[in-house]
Copies of this chain bind each other. A is one copy, B any other.
């Protein structure tokens, strides 16, 4: 009996969510190794859930590319190359255990690609409302950053990036907002942030907001690239010590 699931609180559909979370995290962390084989029977008995609950969880994991189900064989953990790494849940699982900094490193490389492009597009398309939101977010980052209030700072930071990606007017870029949010969250919640946010980083956010407001795609793109590089450098430093 695997005592991995959270207590069945007064919440909604806990069984499915808990089972999914537990299995997903076990796979993401490698505790269930690639190639390992499960059976529905095994899951129902070790987690003490019904067959339907187990099947539904497996179907979701299958849709994320984490497992493959075959008759007469069972449920096999698929090789990592087949995982759908952009699923926010999988990202969260991977951050919660195992290769945390690994994940954050690859995410940073990726952000270096798409956030500058998003900034450039936003400079062409942002609405006045979005510009106001960006300015407000930067302002909040300044205050909370100075006081060392990490939670509100995180919220403002997320708001900044989400707004910028939305302002790009590109649905796919906007969809990456949840990914970026998870990354920022993971960075502060897993002690990969300096206790006080770097004032330089905040200044760069301000530069981006200003460039977007002034419809200067080139400058927006450049400053955004600087933000990512700063974040990557900070991450490397925290990781190194």
A222 adjacent to chain B (CB < 8 Å): no
Which chain B residues lie closer than 8 Å to A110 at the CB level? 114, 117, 170, 172-173
Which chain B residues lie closer than 8 Å to A52 at the CB level? 52, 55
A203 adjacent to chain B (CB < 8 Å): no
Complex Cα gap A192–B120 (Å): 27
State which of A41-49, A56-64, A204-212 sits at the interface with chain B.
Answer: A56-64
Number of residues from A at the complex interface, CB < 8 A: 40
This protein's copies in its complex = 2
A107 adjacent to chain B (CB < 8 Å): yes
- Given A59-B56, A113-B113, A170-B109, also A86-B118 (CB < 8 A): no
Q: For the complex, would chain A's binding face be called helix, strand, loop or mixed by DSSP majority?
A: helix
A116 adjacent to chain B (CB < 8 Å): yes
Which chain B residues lie closer than 8 Å to A113 at the CB level? 113-118, 173
Interface residues of A (CB under 8 A from B): 12-13, 16, 52, 55-56, 59-60, 63-64, 69, 71, 80-81, 83-89, 106-107, 109-110, 112-118, 121, 168, 170-175
Are A84's CB and B81's CB within 8 A? no
Complex Cα gap A198–B88 (Å): 38
